[in-house]
Amino acid sequence: MKKTPTNLIIGNLGSGKTATILDLLKQKPSHEKWVIVQNEFGNTEIADIFLAETQSKLVKISTIAGGCACCSDGVNLEEILLKIVSENPPDRLIIELGATAHVTRILDTLRWKDLGEKILVQMTVCLVDSEQLNKSLSSGSSESEILNFTNNLTQNNITNILIFNQLADIPEEAMRHFNGVIPPKLAISRDKLSLAWLDCDPWNLTQSDVEKLNSNAEIQVKTQESPRPKKPKFTLKNEGEYWTGTWIFNATDVFEMGLLSNILLPPMIEQKIIRVLGIIRINTEWFSYELFDFSLVPKINISTHRWDSYLVMTTTQALDWEEITQKLVACTISEDEWQINYEAMLKQYLPVV
């Protein structure tokens, strides 16, 4: 069954969410049906302007009772979305959210079993006010305070596309906070957003793609495609005396931390591996994972990341990558297996009421 492509549009009040959605609607293929989900207390300009001009029967505006997608006391968000994608599935679903929304909670909702079978979450877009970001940089705040503000403003661990109302006004010192982070970021000006980018694979974005986009050139983007469960994607780079292997795992693959450490520590002690970085799913949450040869104790912190898990391993020599891949896969169980084990544990250790 075909899943409904779904995009989240995030941003503060006045950041340009409405204008961005209107721009995307103007690019909508004439035969497609879209549904836009808005907060009840949000700007009604999309419905008032676009629908008044086009009288389109292929664009539906749906509002969330209570005015908040993540903590509404009204009709449950799951129920709203399940009704939308079950009764008459649209060709695209766009969910508009404020920057203070609990986006991780909403992404978890979208991955909920019944919704996960009907919805395909694709590129997530965050609107950034360039003036607000620049003010934070010139406020005399510490590096950690600026980084924390930047992460909160841009939902950095979740967003795939950052849209700036004035990208040219953002200094390099601000942009470096977005370099090399996961998931990969595409930073563009608001007037450059192409509909094609909402469906692309964030792991396959290149600097050449970005340059072409910002010059308004026509490009072919690769469609987003997650690896199959327990079938990770693997890429290898050799730069001088170092090798870097990258594994991307399906978001339903759940890692068992003890098994992972048992695999990584022996070659690290032998100094074959010098660093392992990544974000992996453990139970129902995602955690950043850092392991260095000089510490041998993994540093683990909870993350708001909600996409496919990944591990990046840097080594001093070529290893048996196929064997390592098989061992890493053996460290994972499926989401369904984890749920069965969890329920069995509850039955074993909690009294029956």
Q: Tens of pLDDT along 53-76?
A: 444 566 776 665 544 554 444 347
Residue 158 · residue 182 · CB < 8 Å: no
Q: What is the mean pLDDT of residues 24-34?
A: 89
Parallel, antiparallel or unpaired: strands 119-121 and 34-39:
unpaired
Residue 246 · residue 234 · CB < 8 Å: yes
pLDDT of 322 higher than 70 = yes
Q: Write down the domain spans for the chain.
A: 4-214, 233-340
Q: How far does CA 154 lie from the centroid of its chain?
A: 12
pLDDT, position 121: 84
Q: How far apart are CA 70 and CA 64, in angstroms?
A: 10
Q: Tens of pLDDT along 245-298?
A: 999 998 889 999 888 888 888 888 888 899 898 889 988 888 888 888 777 788
Q: How confident is the model at residue 220 (pLDDT cuts 50, 70, 90)?
A: very low
Give the fold, CATH level 3, of 233-340: Hypothetical Protein Yjia; Chain: A;domain 2 (3.30.1220)
Q: How confident is the model at residue 244 (pLDDT cuts 50, 70, 90)?
A: very high
Residue 273 · residue 293 · CB < 8 Å: yes
Phi-psi label, residue 66: left if phi above 0, alpha if psi -120 to 50, beta otherwise: left
Q: Tens of pLDDT along 191-216?
A: 667 887 787 765 555 556 555 555 55
Residue 135 · residue 97 · CB < 8 Å: no
Q: What percent of the chain has pLDDT over 90?
A: 15
pLDDT, position 17: 84
| Dmax (CA) of the chain | 68
The β-bridge partners of 125 are: 9, 161
pLDDT of 119 higher than 50 = yes
Nearest 5 degrees, angle CA 177-CA 179-CA 185? 105
Which residues lie below 8 Å from residue 198, measured CB to CB, with a gap of 6+? 5, 7, 24, 92, 122, 123, 125
Q: Tens of pLDDT along 146-165?
A: 666 666 666 667 777 777 76
SS3 per-residue string spanning the chain:
CCCEEEEEEEECCCCCHHHHHHHHHHCCCCCCCEEEEEECCCCCHHHHHHHHHHCCCCEEEEEECCCCCCCCCCCCHHHHHHHHHHHCCCCEEEEEEECCCCHHHHHHHHCCHHHHCCEEECCCEEEECHHHHHHHHCCCCCHHHHHHHHHHHHCCCCCCEEEECCHHHCCHHHHHHHCCCCCCCEEEEHHHCCHHHHHECHHHCCHHHHHHHHCCCCCCCCECCCCECCECEEEEEEECCEEEEEEEECCCEEECHHHHHHHHHHHHHCCCEEEEEEEEEECCEEEEEEEECCCCCCEEEEECCCCCEEEEEEECCCCCHHHHHHHHHHCEEEHHHHHHHHHHHHHHHCCCC
pLDDT, position 221: 44
Give the fold, CATH level 3, of 4-214: Rossmann fold (3.40.50)
Mean pLDDT of the chain: 76
Closest CA to 101 of 234, 12, 222: 12
Q: How far apart are CA 347 and CA 37, in angstroms?
A: 39
pLDDT of 138 higher than 70 = no
- Supply φ then ψ for residue 177, to 5 degrees: -70, -15
Pairwise pLDDT comparison (174 vs 158), residue with the higher score: 158
Closest CA to 235 of 220, 246, 224, 223: 246
Q: What is the mean pLDDT of residues 19-40?
A: 85
pLDDT, position 249: 93
pLDDT, position 223: 47
Q: How far apart are CA 31 and CA 29, in angstroms?
A: 6
pLDDT, position 243: 93
Q: How confident is the model at residue 231 (pLDDT cuts 50, 70, 90)?
A: very high
Q: pTM surpassing 0.75?
A: no
pLDDT, position 182: 61
